């Protein structure tokens, strides 16, 4: 068999060893059984849990601007805090931190996290959780930022390996939120999320500081050689297992560029997490380098991530 692109997920075809004739037969049967029209790739839609529901209490969103970091000097960034309606200052709330916060916070945006949280918390499918949505830094010397995706310090902050971003998050952002709200210190109750470079950033924080964050949600994660992140699948296999729960999503039509092949990189991550017996879930679709698939399954993913919150007393 000569290799054909686009890359298929490893061992995804039933009976990888089937000769072509049987494979074709199987495919034919499958096609007959699925009379629906072939759907376009990356055709994922938001479901009802991502839509505002009339009878569900709404949390509030507090916007912050111009955060000046000591870890990432001479940068500025906007950020937001979501506080669910069910928040009770007497009980420590769980925490979920989103990188590229602007993309997650909007009620009409790609992810609509406040709405999803409102719905899931109301239904008891995830615990009372304060959301922290942080934009990447923009160097003040670079003038005004018009598009948050173009923040000049994004790659340095998100793609770099090591403990620096976690020092910023844990040492600078969290204390500010903790001044106003009762946040849990239980790492099991602290999740971190991101897409693309934000995805590897989320993983890096938990990898470096499992004492602080133990739940990771990465979509279309850049576990490639932007800044050495292609090492992770290999590090995982030779590092004592960390107490992390990891969710990964990627699509067969994700990027293949000068820094690596995203679908292969994410398959490698999944294979490595499996090898080391991590508590992980890998969803591999046919999406491109977008958040469509990740956002469409986001409510389901949150349920999986927080599935045992009641038993764990989170």
Segment contacting another protein by CB under 8 A, of 90-98, 102-110, 274-282, 306-314:
274-282
**Rounded-to-integer distance, Cα 110 and Cα 295, Å:** 7
By CB under 8 A, is residue 161 in contact with another protein? yes
- Dihedrals φ, ψ of 139, to 5°? -65, 130
Q: How far is the CB of 199 from another protein (least distance, A)?
A: 17
Distance of CA 153 to the CA centre of its chain: 19
220 touches 195 (CB < 8 A): yes
Segment contacting another protein by CB under 8 A, of 41-49, 106-114, 186-194, 272-280:
272-280
In the chain the first and final C-alpha atoms are separated, in Å, by 51
Segment contacting another protein by CB under 8 A, of 15-23, 107-115, 120-128, 183-191:
15-23
Segment contacting another protein by CB under 8 A, of 99-107, 119-127, 162-170, 213-221:
162-170
By CB under 8 A, is residue 212 in contact with another protein? no
User: Among residues 106, 256, 303, 304, which is the contact residue for another protein, using CB under 8 A?
Assistant: 256
By CB under 8 A, is residue 3 in contact with another protein? yes
118 versus 250: smaller Cβ distance to another protein: 250
By CB under 8 A, is residue 1 in contact with another protein? yes
By CB under 8 A, is residue 286 in contact with another protein? yes
Taking residue 78's Cβ as centre, other Cβ atoms within 10 Å add up to 19
By CB under 8 A, is residue 24 in contact with another protein? no
Q: In what order do the strands lie in the sheet with 190-195?
A: 60-64, 79-83, 129-134, 94-99, 190-195, 215-219, 245-251, 279-285
Query: Can you say whether the dihedral through the CA atoms of 157, 163, 166, 171 is positive or negative?
Result: negative
Distance of CA 83 to the CA centre of its chain: 20
| Residue of 47, 217, 50, 55 lying closest to 122 (CA atoms) | 55
Q: Which residues bind another protein (CB under 8 A)?
A: 1-3, 5, 7, 9-19, 22, 25-26, 29-30, 33-34, 155-156, 159-164, 224-228, 230-231, 233-234, 237-242, 256-261, 264-265, 267-268, 271-272, 274-277, 282, 284-286
């Amino acid at each position: 068999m000569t290799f054909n692109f686009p890359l298929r997920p490893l061992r995804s075809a039933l009976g990888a060893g089937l000769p072509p004739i049987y494979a074709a037969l199987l495919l034919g049967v499958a096609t007959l059984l699925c009379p629906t029209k072939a759907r376009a790739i990356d055709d994922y839609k938001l479901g009802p849990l991502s839509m505002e529901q009339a009878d569900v209490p709404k949390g509030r969103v507090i916007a912050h601007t111009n955060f000046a970091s000591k870890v990432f000097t001479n940068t500025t960034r906007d950020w937001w805090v979501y506080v669910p309606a069910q928040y009770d200052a007497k009980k420590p709330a769980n925490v979920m931190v989103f990188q590229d916060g602007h993309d997650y916070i909007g009620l009409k945006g790609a992810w609509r996290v406040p709405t999803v949280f409102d719905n899931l918390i109301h239904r008891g499918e995830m615990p009372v959780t304060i959301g922290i949505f942080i934009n990447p830094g923009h160097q003040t010397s670079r003038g005004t930022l018009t598009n948050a995706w173009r923040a000049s310090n994004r790659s340095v902050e998100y793609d770099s390996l090591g403990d620096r971003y976690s020092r910023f998050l844990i040492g600078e952002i969290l204390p500010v939120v903790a001044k106003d709200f009762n946040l849990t210190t239980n790492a099991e109750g602290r999740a971190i999320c991101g897409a693309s470079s934000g995805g590897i950033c989320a993983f890096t924080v938990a990898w470096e500081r499992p004492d602080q964050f133990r739940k990771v949600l990465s979509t279309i994660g850049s576990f490639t050689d932007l800044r050495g992140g292609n090492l992770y699948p290999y590090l995982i296999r030779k590092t004592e297992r960390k107490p992390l729960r990891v969710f990964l999503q990627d699509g067969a039509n994700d990027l293949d560029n000068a820094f690596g092949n995203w679908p292969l990189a994410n398959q490698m991550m999944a294979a490595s997490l499996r090898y080391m017996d991590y508590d992980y879930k890998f969803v591999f679709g046919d999406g491109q380098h977008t958040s469509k698939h990740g956002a469409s399954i986001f409510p389901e993913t949150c349920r999986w991530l927080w599935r045992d919150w009641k038993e764990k007393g989170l």
